[in-house]
Structure 1
Amino acid sequence: MSGRKQFDVGAALDQAMRVFWQRGYADASLGALCSATGLGRGSLYGTFGGKDALFRQCLDRYESIYSEQYGQALAAHPGNPVRALEAFFDVILTRIADPSVPAGCLVAQSATQSATLEQENSAKVRDLLDTQRRRVRAALADSAADAQVLDELATFVVAVNQSLAVLSRAGTSDSELRAVARLACTTVADTLARATSGGAASD
Structure 2
Amino acid sequence: MSFDLKRLARLPAVVMMATAFAAGSPALAGSAYEHEFTAIEGGELPLEAWRGKALLVVNTASLCGFTPQYDGLQRLWESYRDRGLVVLGVPSNDFGGQEPGQEAEIKQFCEVNFGIDFPMTEKLAVTGPGAHPFYQWAAAQLGPEGVPRWNFHKILVAPDGKAVAGFPASVTPTDSRLTAAVERLLPVP
TM tier, shorter chain?
A: under 0.3
Greater RCO structure (CA 8 Å; 6+ sep) = 2
Between structure 1 and structure 2, the one with the greater Rg is 1
For normalisation by structure 1, the TM-score amounts to: 0.27
Higher strand share: 2
Higher helix share: 1
